[in-house]
Amino acid sequence: MGYSREVYDAALAALEKRRIDAVNRAAALKDRMAAKYPRVREIEAMMAGCSVQVAKAVLDGGDVEAAVERIKNENLALQAELAALLAAEGEDARDFEPRYTCPRCGDTGYAGGQVCACLKNLMREEACRRLSRTVSMELTSFDDIQLSYYPETPVDPRSGLSPRQWMGDVLAFCRDYAENFGPGAENLLFSGPTGTGKTHLSLSIARAATEKGYGVVYGPAQVLLRRLEKERFGRQTGDSEEMLLECDLLILDDLGTEFASPFTTSCLYNIVNTRLLEARPTIVSTNLQPPELLERYGQQIASRMVGSYRTLLFMGQDIRQLRAAERLRGG
């Protein structure tokens, strides 16, 4: 999964805390038991010495099998004695050793040289939390989209559809895109006036992809490009470029609102071109029409977006203004 370094580090830190907590809980139990039953420390020492006794029996020769069986029985007797002491205090013998949240990897995040499922789950949860801190989570559900805000007239003579019907089709497409999202998914270009639902649908897709375990990076273009500029010129540290290039899904919101400069244009070209070459899906939302993209960003960027992205046109009135008017009337 293409999660950012920040998400990975946060998930690994959460696992480390789990591991330390498990070790500390076991140590605290041992201390409590030993304070009341000094015999506990003796049992621990004797059990720890069993492996040494086995090795010595092998080196000494003789009837190794009989010696190992004797040591095994002694160990089992010690375990039973310890379990009885713990039971007398209402404790579980299994808690005498660290009980890790993930027994497969022991809360290290890796098992058999592979990333453990527990670490993947934590990264997904962390990515969701970061997404929710970035935007209002109420704007991340398809179910919250109200088509009633889109007018039923006029009917477009070319498509034969009203804005409400048109946006109903756009909503249906985005739902299907989110449900079937995976590696190699289409690139999308959301183009239309302010307040017509571009950000809402982008975030709904982002949430669905994140919940499926994909690494999603969402942000306004001006914020992400400004961060790249600060990191490039030493005013801020981070791995934003790697994150933008390698995440499973990148969503650049409000493209065209950023301060245009040769640097930002170069960064944008690198992002768009690299992700196209590596078949990593990108969603771009903008108030600009295709001719305006060409005028602002030039042929190299505009042709790649228009030619390699599926363009979804948004129509209707500014929903934020409509809702504000409703609140005023309600007040």
CATH number given to 135-330: 3.40.50.300
Q: Rounded distance, CA 178 to CA 195, Å?
A: 21
Per DSSP, the three-state class of 253 is: strand
- Pairing status of strand 110-111 against strand 114-115: antiparallel
Residue 295 burial by CB count (10 A; 0-12/13-18/19+): exposed, middle or buried?
A: exposed
pLDDT tens column, 138-166: 557 898 888 999 999 888 888 889 999 99
Query: pLDDT tens digits, residue range 113-128?
Result: 999 999 988 887 787 6
Residue 273's pLDDT band (boundaries 50, 70, 90)?
Answer: very high
Q: How far is Cα 7 from Cα 155, in angstroms, rounded to an integer?
A: 46
pLDDT value at position 214? 86
- In tens, the pLDDT along 26-48 reads 999 888 888 888 888 888 788 77
- pLDDT of residue 296 exceeding 80, the answer is yes
Average pLDDT over residues 212-225: 86
Rounded distance, CA 163 to CA 315, Å?
6
Most confident of the following: 79-88, 260-269, 271-280, 314-323: 271-280
pTM of the model: 0.68
| Element (DSSP H or E) covering residue 20 | helix 5-36
Q: Work out the angle between the directed axes of helices 198-211 and 117-134 (0-180°, nearest 10).
A: 160
- Among 68-72, 146-150, 274-278, which range has the highest average pLDDT? 274-278
d(CA 86, CA 257): 66
- Binning pLDDT at 50, 70 and 90, where does residue 16 land? very high
- What are the residue ranges spanned by the domains of the chain? 17-102, 135-330
- Gap between the Cα atoms of 251 and 305, Å rounded: 13
Question: What are 282's strand-pairing partners?
Answer: 250
Residue 199 has pLDDT above 70, yes or no: yes
- Gap between the Cα atoms of 227 and 232, Å rounded: 9
For the cut 90, the answer to whether the pLDDT of residue 240 exceeds it is: no
Predicted pLDDT at 136: 58
> Token digits for 79?
């375990």
Residue (of 196, 236, 238, 245) closest to 217 by Cα position: 245
Tell me the one-letter amino acid at 182: G
The residue among 203, 197, 200 whose CA lies nearest residue 317 is 197
